[in-house]
Amino acid sequence: MLTRLKKKVQEMLTSEAEAAHRLGLTPNTVSAIGLALSLFSAAAYALALRQPLLLLLATLLLLASGFCDTLDGILARNYNQASIFGGFFDSLLDRYADAIVFGSVIIGGLCYPEWGLAALAGALLVSYSRARAEAAGIKMESVGLAERAERMLILAAASLIAIFWLPALNWGIILLAILSNLTVLQRGLHVYNSLKKKADNPAT
């Protein structure tokens, strides 16, 4: 849903990408920094039940990780550093980041475990469904309600509200579980309809 907005944000971050390039940062390095920020964010989530103000730190680190996830792509495109391995590496680290953050929310007792696991499964399957579809030649970008950018913003918003009302994070996780798995369903239907269309019109 936020694909168009993401492209505008990417255009706005060209100066930041230039600064990173001057510092000698490569897209893969920025991706690794993003994972490290996710690890610190996860640590803050794991301890936040005892100290809710840590949710502010967790949110800031989560958003900083998302910033790196955008910046690495801009670096790759603007400075001819895009590669097949780079795309694979970035996607792999994103999945680790998702698993670590959701796992820490669950371990930290900030949500019901079953909903946390459902949200985690949905997040991973959203990415997997895209990878499988695009391997079959079906464009998947912007298909579905909750791509990674939307999921991060929902988690960030719920986390900020939870500083003052802790159950908000649990409700945010429930919303993520529903939306992410609904996105998987949407993508499954999109793939089915696309393949059916190709079968009905083999010459196109």
Catalytic annotation, residues: 94
DSSP output for 32-74: HHHHHHHHHHHHHHHHTTT-TTHHHHHHHHHHHHHHHHHHHHH
Separation between Cα atoms, residue 99 and residue 34, nearest integer Å: 14
Separation between Cα atoms, residue 204 and residue 186, nearest integer Å: 24
Look up residue 127 and give its DSSP letter: H
The answer to whether 109 touches 47, Cβ cutoff 8 Å, is no
Separation between Cα atoms, residue 192 and residue 173, nearest integer Å: 28
Which residue bears the tokens 């918003």? 157
* Of residues 105, 106, 103, the one with CA closest to residue 95: 103
Cα→Cα distances 137→127, 151, 194, Å: 15, 25, 10
Separation between Cα atoms, residue 140 and residue 131, nearest integer Å: 9
